[in-house]
A and B are shown apart, each in its own frame.
Chain A
Amino acid sequence: MRIGVMVCHCGNNIAATVDVEAVAAAAREFPDVVFATDHMYACSDPGQKTLEQTIRDLKLDGVVVASCSPRMHEVTFRRAVERAGLNRYMFEMANIREHVAWISLDRKRNTQKATDLVRMAVEKLRVDRPLTPKSFDVQKRVLIVGGGVAGIQAALDCADGGLDVVLVERKSSIGGVMSKLDKTFPTVDCAVCVLGPKMVDAGQNPRIALHTCSEVEEVSGYVGNFEVRIKKHSTYVDWTKCTGCGACQEKCPSRKVPDAFNENVSLTTAIGIPFPQAIPKRASINAEYCLKLTKGKCGVCEKICPTGAIAYDMQDEFITEKVGAIIAATGIDLFDHKKCGEYGAGRYPDVVTSLAYERMLSASGPTAGHIKRPSDGTEPKTVVFISCVGSRDRSLNRPYCSGFCCMYTAKQAILTRDHIPDSRAYVFYMDIRANGKGYEEFVRRAQEEYGVEYVRGRVAQVYPQDGKLIVCGADTLLGRQVEVAADLVVLAVGAEAAHGAPELAEKLRISYDAYGFFMESHPKLRPVETNTVGVFLAGACQGPKDIPASVSQASAAAGKVLALLSKDKLESDPQIALVNANRCIGCGKCERTCPFGAIRMRELRDGSQRAEVVETVCQGCGICSVTCPVRAIQLQHFTDSQLLAEVNALCRTWDETTE
């Protein structure tokens, strides 16, 4: 075998702390290495050209590049190797940047470690075998999980690009958090007026199949051929018959149901349509409160429904959709303000969340746009806004900034002054984060034109006194204590990953951070991709985002999906498990441990069992391989022999250095 080694300087990234020339010189002594050199930037055009030329000139069988993480440039070099006529798996990468140069300044030992890593790569390459990917057909459909503004935008863009879209939403209507908003910053235009037409488009587009009251139950398959099992929760109303007339809602006798769409500020009925602009505009029954479903007697809606759509015996339904790509757009939920006992949240009715306040401001909300204290229905004259509730607070395990609270608080303060001209609005803040287009000007307007009083400091506690809420806090700019007797306190609650986001991530096999936000593939260069090929991110499920950012990310994700599914065929990764039937004893342990159901047992003619890998389903995780007691099942390109070659190379160099 003829192996070539290229050691990269990465400018000064590696060369500053690793003697790359010494590493190349040492590599020349390794078995089967016929050529070793160093290069300023192996990944650059001249670097790749040199690589290709050397492969051709010296008739190399395989190449080791010692440079950065394979996550960075493995694909780059595999392509270069392939252009020079080699199999792309006859290439190994030694990571001497992240694993060596960047973690220590000790040049001597760095050089030693880099040499060890190159030696390991060479030894593995010596037992590497060419692998050939297979190509397979692609489903030109996309699943979008979450029907908020990001999901809707992504759905519309994908449908525009000619893809069939399956849009799954947990609630009974699409629209997400944005549909609950009264106005949007910094333009103070009506949220539902801009979102409504998009919702209607999504509902009417023949390419978009809308599944509301639905959740993703199970995802199997792989890029190009995902199979998704969707659970459609029973609505107890046949939506093919329901016209959305609302007669049932008017007559329903169960009228003490907390109205979730209105943030439980008001009560609603057990059957109904969540809000006037709902898409699809169809009624559903809240089984927890429906008298017929809980007590067995009532049936008023069934009598009143002009189309006979009520179906009390409706069951949950499962459907399976085949898609080529998936966009996660599950958005956010809000921080549970009740965790902040010092603000009296949950104890005093006049301490409300910002979203509940938003519903009060909305003309279609529970108070028809009139701001009223929940306790007595009077109009508040002094409103205090407390920012960063559940944001930037390590004690609550919420160290991150939710990003948009400063802005909506300014908006709500402005609207308060608009709605009640003789009112006073106070905002307790830590810092004002207004770094979007027109954002800073907007906050200025709140302060200067609308006379909102901004107090820089935290609130220590809120307690009731004589029908008022006393807000005690510090003004850190003036260095003194402040007390405001408020009629209403609005908590600017921060964003949390949507409930159930980690569970969805597990189903999609994408990573998520400690707070449940989904991880992008690269924070700068691959912001809408995930580490699972074919799964993309849109909107606040990746981290708190305001509407413009969510919408642009949604369009970006749609663009990525369109590019991916513009191909008719995709290549499968050959780095999957393979069974050596001669060694297999048919114990079936691999079948039981496989997380993907990619192994099945087949019977030989003598009646004995052997394991078999379903190539298209295998994800190459390797669990079967470590479970197999006889190592009959091996992960291609990471076989025992290949890994042992690396381990032995490392141990050998250790023996040499320690002796």
Chain B
Amino acid sequence: MAENDRIQRLIAAVKAELPKLDFVLGYGRGFDALHATPITVRTEADADKLIFDATCVENLATSLYAMRGKRIGIVVKGCDSRSVVELMQEKLLDRANLVVFGMPCQGVIDLAKVRVRADIAQARGAEFTETEVRLLLPEGERVLSRQDVLADKCLRCRYPNPLIADHLIGPEVEPKGVEDTYADLEGFEKLNPQERFDFWKRQMSRCIRCYACRNACPLCVCKHVCLADSREPHWLSAEATLQEKWLFQVMHALHLAGRCTECGECQRSCPMGIPILLLKRKMNRELKEVFNYEAGVDPEAVPPLHTFQMEEEKIKDRGLLW
């Protein structure tokens, strides 16, 4: 099968690079057929455990910043590669110490979407074809449309092929679109400011301040000195009030303005199902309009908020007196 062949080629590429690397970050099979788990490949035997399919949802780039200084290989999907590019743009990664195994990707499944369609607590196996997800459940086989259970970000995916890769394990995949239409923002943008605020008050009331969103974010690189935990300056108190929860999310969104690569890990990791990516998508749309900029696409580009210009083309701050 073609997919098996790809994995064999990935394993071969990893094995070839292993002697030069401390380890390779990749995906292995999780506790069941619907779950993948990140693994560190140090030996050839480890490499044989590598998998790649629609269950490989995690963005492994999240671990990169903490491991800088080491010589690492990493398996990335198209969307994950943007996080790697953004880290490079911010000079937070040393490209020379990094080997990227690029996996063109047909889209990953959203387990929440699977769960509403089937009880997968005891799934024995799963198979993925181009159009279907075949679940092996205790009561028998269950077939879902792959389209129905793909993650939202995959439905509008414009970068299914890694933007940087030392080893591209093809074949390449046709993108779903060229331009982001931000159709998912339509409903939200129709709301007036008060309604938007009410929406977020409702959503944020569920937040338990576990900071999973922060910890899952590949670009939240200052975790050990995060402002949310700081006492000097004391921006956030430990109180579990709506105000503090909301302030944290706003802070997170603002710190990611022009940096977020929309991998969606924040939202995926949220145990309360708060649509946090919406904030970041909205912010990115504004960034796109004002600076015509998209994060994590061009390793050479300077993020617009990481530079200084006296006059911005689309920001008029020197109007006439009358």
Contacts and interface: CB of A to CB of B under 8 A. Distances in A.
Interface of A: 397, 399, 506, 513-514, 582-583, 585, 587-589, 592-595, 607, 623, 627, 629-632, 634, 639-641, 644
B290 interface: no
Nearest to B220: A629
B181 interface: no
B34 to A, nearest CB: 35
A514 B321 contact: yes
A585 B221 contact: yes
A397 B319 CA distance: 12
Contacts of B244: none
A395 to B, nearest CB: 13
A585 B235 contact: no
B222 A585 contact: yes
A447 B3 CA distance: 98
B306 A585 contact: no
B307 interface: yes
B219 to A, nearest CB: 10
Contact of B227 (A399, A514, A629): A629
Contacts of B310: 506, 595
How many residues of B sit at the interface, in one of the four size bands?
Answer: 20 to 34
B314 interface: no
Contacts of B319: 514
Interface in B54-112: 69, 90-92
Contacts of A634: 233
A595 B321 contact: no
10 contacts: A513-B321, A514-B320, A587-B90, A587-B222, A588-B91, A592-B302, A593-B306, A630-B227, A639-B233, A641-B234
Nearest to A634: B233
Interface in B265-322: 302, 305-308, 310, 318-322
B221 to A, nearest CB: 7
B116 interface: no
Interface string B216-232: 00000110011100101
Given A585-B221, A630-B222, A623 B308 contact: yes
Contacts of A630: 222, 225-227, 230
Contacts of A397: 320
B255 interface: yes
A582 to B, nearest CB: 8
A607 B302 CA distance: 24
B148 to A, nearest CB: 38
Q: Which 7 A-B pairs have the closest CB atoms?
A: A640-B233, A630-B222, A595-B308, A630-B225, A641-B233, A514-B320, A583-B225
B90 A632 contact: no
Contacts of B222: 585, 587, 629-630
Contacts of A639: 233
Contacts of A627: 305-306
B129 to A, nearest CB: 43
Given A595-B310, A631-B235, A634-B233, 8 more contacts: A514-B321, A585-B221, A593-B307, A607-B69, A629-B227, A631-B227, A631-B233, A639-B233
Given A513-B321, A514-B320, A589-B306, A641 B232 contact: yes
Contacts of A585: 221-222, 225
A592 B308 CA distance: 7
A630 B321 CA distance: 38
A219 to B, nearest CB: 13
B58 to A, nearest CB: 23
A630 B222 CA distance: 7
B308 A644 contact: no
Contacts of B235: 631, 640, 644
Given A583-B225, A632-B225, A593 B308 contact: yes
Contacts of A631: 227, 230, 233, 235
Contacts of B226: 630
B230 A589 contact: no
Given A513-B321, A641-B232, A644-B234, A592 B225 contact: no
Contacts of A399: 322
A639 B225 CA distance: 17
A648 to B, nearest CB: 10
A159 B310 CA distance: 34
